[in-house]
Amino acid sequence: MYSSALAVVAVLEVALAAVALRGPRPGRGIALLGCALAYDSAVAAAGTVLGHGPALETLSTGRYVVHAVLTPLVVPCAAMLVSGGRAVVAGAWGIACVLALSASWATLPGLELAPRHWADTVRYADAEPGGVPLAAVTAMVLLLAAGVVLWRRRGVPWLALGAVALFVAAAAAVAVPPLGNAGEALMLAGLVAALRDDRSRAGSVLAQQ
């Protein structure tokens, strides 16, 4: 049941990435993030089929790399939706790079994965998790802040709603891991909805003039 649901989430994330790719700036960044999230969901869904072993462990290592390196993309993507100003966007890219390096340093060196079962899902997870993922939490907080600004300035709620959904799902994922993937999909949907919202695009154009 849960593995099938994760497969559906992966397909939806690919579809959202395709929609973002055809959209305006920052569609390419959102599309890349969508593909990364789809990969994560697809590996989680495939665990039941692959079972524990080298194949699933290797793919699971890729999940950690993708999360560390690409999750911070939400920061510049959100910044471009809120403001087209070069200084703001450049600062957001700088923050994203710092977060990616921080997450990689905290997670990847010495990463050891151990098999885990939950309901009908089979996965590999960090055998010794290092506590609160500060880089990911920072990116989530910045995403929420950008969403609130976009909502107040232009009446575009999607970014903020996606960030709130991510926060709630991340907390619930401690007990029900697949909810983490569902929350990421909702966050992605919020990014894409904000990207496609005429009010958001109009505000970005005005900011560049």
Which 3-state string (H, E, C) describes 133-146?
CHHHHHHHHHHHHH
63-87 burial: b if 16+ Cβ within 10 Å, else e: bbebbbbbbbbbbbbbbbbbbbeee
Q: How confident is the model at residue 139 (pLDDT cuts 50, 70, 90)?
A: very high
Using DSSP's 3-state secondary structure scheme, residue 37 falls into helix
144-182 burial: b if 16+ Cβ within 10 Å, else e: bebbbbbbeebebbbbbbbbbbbbebbeebeeebbbbbb
The whole-chain average pLDDT of the chain stands at 90
Interhelix angle 134-154/158-172, rounded to 10 degrees, is 150
Q: What pLDDT is recorded for position 206?
A: 44
Domain chopping of the chain, boundaries: 2-204
Distance CA 177, CA 120 (A): 12
Distance CA 36, CA 121 (A): 20
pLDDT over 90 percentage in the chain: 67
Query: Torsions phi, psi of 117, nearest 5?
Result: -120, 140
Q: What pLDDT is recorded for position 207?
A: 46
Higher pLDDT: 28 or 50? It is 28
Q: What pLDDT is recorded for position 85?
A: 84
Q: How confident is the model at residue 179 (pLDDT cuts 50, 70, 90)?
A: very high
Alpha helix ranges (H) inside the chain: 2-21, 27-50, 54-70, 74-82, 86-107, 134-154, 158-172, 178-196, 198-208
Lowest-pLDDT range, 3-12, 70-79, 161-170, 191-200? Answer: 191-200
Region 109-118: mean pLDDT is 87
The C-alpha angle with vertex 149 and arms to 19 and 28, in degrees rounded to 5, equals 25
Q: Residues 53-106: pLDDT tens digits?
A: 899 999 999 999 999 999 999 999 999 999 868 899 999 999 999 999 999 998
Q: What pLDDT is recorded for position 18?
A: 97
Region 195-204: mean pLDDT is 70
Q: What pLDDT is recorded for position 125?
A: 85
Q: What pLDDT is recorded for position 204?
A: 52
Q: What pLDDT is recorded for position 121?
A: 87
Picking from 200, 198, 189, the residue whose alpha carbon sits closest to that of residue 152 is 200
Region 96-118: mean pLDDT is 90
Region 102-113: mean pLDDT is 89
Record the tokens describing residue 99, joined without a space: 């977060």
Residue 203 pLDDT greater than 80, yes or no: no
Q: What pLDDT is recorded for position 145?
A: 96
